Amino acid sequence: MPFTSGIADFRSDTVTHPTEAMRAAMAAAEVGDDVYGEDPTVNALEEEVAELLGKEAALFTASGTMANQIAIGTHTEPGDEVICVESAHVRNYEHGGASANFGVSFRTVPSPNGEMSLAAIRKAAAGVDYHLPRVSLLAWENTHNVSGGTVVPQEMLREGSEYARSIGLGVHIDGARLWNAVTASGLPVETVVAPADSVMFCFSKGLGAPVGSILVGAADFIGEARRIRARLGGGMRQAGVIAAAAKVALDGRARIADDHENARRLATALADRFPAATDAAAVKTNMVVVAESGLPWPAEQFIAALADAGVRTALITPGVIRFCTHHNVDAGDVDRVLAVADSLV
Ligand code: TLP
* Digit-coded pLDDT (tens) for 141-182: 999 999 999 999 999 999 999 999 999 999 999 999 999 999
Question: What residue spans in the chain does CATH classification 3.40.640.10 cover?
Answer: 31-251
Q: In angstroms, what is the span from residue 240 Cα to ligand 1's centroid?
A: 23
Closest CA to 41 of 53, 29, 57, 23: 29
Give SS3 for 198: strand
Take atom 19 of ligand 1 and give the residue whose Cα is closest. 64
Per-residue model confidence as pLDDT tens digits over 242-295: 999 999 999 999 999 999 999 999 999 999 999 999 999 999 999 999 999 999
The type of residue at 117 is: S
Local confidence band at 338 (pLDDT 50, 70, 90 cut-offs): very high
Question: What residue spans in the chain does CATH classification 3.90.1150.10 cover?
Answer: 8-16+255-344
- Measured from CB, residues less than 6 Å from any atom of ligand 1 are 12, 14, 63-65, 68, 89, 93, 141, 145, 174, 176, 202, 204, 213
Q: In angstroms, what is the span from residue 204 Cα to ligand 1's centroid?
A: 10
What is the residue-averaged pLDDT of the chain? 97
Local confidence band at 131 (pLDDT 50, 70, 90 cut-offs): confident
Domain 31-251 CATH class label: alpha beta
CATH H-level, domain 8-16+255-344: superfamily:
Aspartate Aminotransferase, domain 1 (3.90.1150.10)
Atom of ligand 1 nearest to the CA of 144: 11
Q: Which of 14, 85, 177, 198 to mutate to test the pocket of ligand 1 (most atoms within 8 A of CB)?
A: 14
Atom of ligand 1 nearest to the CA of 316: 5
pLDDT value of residue 127: 72
Hey, how many other C-beta atoms are within 10 angstroms of the C-beta on 273? 15
Give SS3 for 167: coil
Count Cα neighbours of 139 within 13 Å in the Cβ-side half-sphere: 35
For residue 301, what are the contacts with CB-CB under 8 A and spacing of at least 6?
Answer: 344
Q: In angstroms, what is the span from residue 275 Cα to ligand 1's centroid?
A: 28
How does DSSP classify residue 30?
A: -
Distance CA 263, CA 331 (A): 9
Residue range 12-37: average pLDDT? 98
Per-residue model confidence as pLDDT tens digits over 292-315: 999 999 999 999 999 999 999 999
Local confidence band at 212 (pLDDT 50, 70, 90 cut-offs): very high
- Regarding beta strands 170-175 and 198-202, do their DSSP bridges make them parallel or antiparallel, or are they unpaired? parallel
Closest CA to 247 of 55, 65, 89, 58: 58
How does DSSP classify residue 217?
A: E
Local confidence band at 130 (pLDDT 50, 70, 90 cut-offs): confident
Q: In angstroms, what is the span from residue 125 Cα to ligand 1's centroid?
A: 26
Give SS3 for 278: coil
User: What is the percent of the chain with per-residue pLDDT over 70, rounded to a whole number?
Assistant: 99
For residue 268, what are the contacts with CB-CB under 8 A and spacing of at least 6?
Answer: 280
pLDDT value of residue 128: 64
- Regarding beta strands 213-217 and 57-61, do their DSSP bridges make them parallel or antiparallel, or are they unpaired? antiparallel
